[in-house]
Structure 1
């Protein structure tokens, strides 16, 4: 048993780009299967057309699948002994300019809070959406800025490549919306946006020194977006102030521009390899 465990740990510690991509693909598949399972068991309690229609529907349709997926990811990280590395201080010191990413995430959160038509929602739904946000922040950050970043660092990848790959894999997670019937153009726009947002999360993690702050920023982004627009990837009749929502949307473009610029600015290497020589990649 101990030898098998060591083989398991050694395999994942020898981080490569394809193993990191494999983890992301398996996570997405498990998440979808959990969602299908919940739908089969309690689908009658979920309003697929409007998951924000009531607290129970939002909990079962949105929060529960991502919560269960996050628990499985945490158990995976724990099996490898990575929890302390993932949630501990960043091994590569952040730069002052990276704080711009934090501002590009925080400002639109406040704009959406002001824009939201709070009278359209019950207190129960708001609490469920706040819980959903925490689940999303924890799970998606653990997957991409946690496990993927840690795996690539252990494999000797330079931070520039870690930055690009972790942001790209985060974006690819959202390309699976094609299978749910979402329009290809909408999916393409979502992938571009999520690459920018993923980049902001990486930079926020580096700036603050901990993944915890990226989790909290992410946790505040999704529910404020959904509540402000009144829906998921769409605007409904319960949407709030259009001008403020549009202003918040401009920060998405600023994030994408900073993400592209950061490809040339991010440098460094964690110097935390496990059992394999460093990958000959740009620093």
Structure 2
């Protein structure tokens, strides 16, 4: 790694990413609540800003030399059962897709939605459960890493209040994102890679936008709440035994050290 992981670096990248994305989205003139009204709104309101954000976080990751720790675990969790939480979320994604009236969704909207899903999955996972997580692991116990990174992931969605969404609509979204963040963290710990979390995250956002675009209803929607409950319990087990912390030694160099949750 070119730069040793530190919490402030992860936090700075998280804040910079949010600042850039919210600035571009605000300048688009498309309120968050109108993103899903058309393919054009989706491109202008969300996808363009996310494309810029993707270049930004990829460039920062390269400069820091953090691709390896951001994308992969050195050791996976032994609590494989915790994958139940992200598995339930995956089934809920299927429910969103089943509840979508695909006859009302144009091909242009599907393309825009897929672009959004890919970019959201890449950007937000690399930022929160990649760079932020790596930075926190420089000095923080693993369970705190899991909870802080998930909490800040939830707060990422608080920017929607500045983009036209009501506070009453934003607060539940923050809470839901926090719980989903725990599921994404668990998926990383179980599989040893961030790629699965990127894919599940992107699939969730794509399915939500297509469902909302047709005023559909998810017949399996209750599983989202259940996944959150399982994640709240499972995260304590998934974080145990993690060997990812790299404290700074007296000479400033990084040294691997084991830590438990």
TM-score (norm 2): 0.87
Check conservation: 2:242, 2:260, Cα contact below 8 A.
no
In the other structure, the counterpart of 1:267 is: 240
Q: Of 171, 194, 217, which aligns to 2:200?
A: 217
- Report the Cα offset of residue 175 of structure 1: 1.6
Check conservation: 2:33, 2:165, Cα contact below 8 A.
no
Number of equivalent positions: 254
Taking the aligned partners of 1:48 and 1:189, their CA distance within structure 2 comes to: 15
In the other structure, the counterpart of 1:233 is: none
Question: Does 1:229 pair with 2:202?
Answer: no
- Report the Cα offset of residue 271 of structure 1: 4.3
Matched ranges for 1:83-232 at <5 A: 83-87=67-71, 89-94=72-77, 95-153=79-137, 155-230=138-213
Check conservation: 1:157, 1:269, Cα contact below 8 A.
no
Long gaps (5+) in structure 2: 251-255
Taking the aligned partners of 2:168 and 2:32, their CA distance within structure 1 comes to: 22
- Report the Cα offset of residue 228 of structure 1: 0.9
Check conservation: 2:243, 2:260, Cα contact below 8 A.
no
Instruction: Find the residue that maps to 2:215 and give its secondary structure.
Output: coil
Check conservation: 1:116, 1:228, Cα contact below 8 A.
yes
- Report the Cα offset of residue 272 of structure 1: 4.3
Q: Of 54, 58, 61, which aligns to 2:42?
A: 58
Instruction: Find the residue that maps to 1:50 and give its secondary structure.
Output: helix
Moved more, 93-102 or 217-226: 93-102
- Report the Cα offset of residue 98 of structure 1: 2.1
Q: Deviations over 1:197-244 (max 9, x none)?
A: 1111111111122101110111100010111122xxxxxxx212x3xx
Relative to 1, partners in 2 of residues 1:64 and 1:148: Cα closer, same or farther, differing over 3 Å? Answer: same
Instruction: Find the residue that maps to 2:236 and give its secondary structure.
Output: helix
In the other structure, the counterpart of 2:15 is: 25
Question: Does 1:73 pair with 2:57?
Answer: yes
Check conservation: 2:92, 2:220, Cα contact below 8 A.
yes
Long gaps (5+) in structure 1: 1-5, 231-237
Check conservation: 1:138, 1:215, Cα contact below 8 A.
yes
Check conservation: 2:32, 2:163, Cα contact below 8 A.
no
- Report the Cα offset of residue 144 of structure 1: 0.6
- Report the Cα offset of residue 276 of structure 1: 4.2
Instruction: Find the residue that maps to 2:13 and give its secondary structure.
Output: helix
Relative to 1, partners in 2 of residues 1:159 and 1:14: Cα closer, same or farther, differing over 3 Å? Answer: same
TM-score (norm 1): 0.81
| Aligned residues: CA RMSD | 2.5
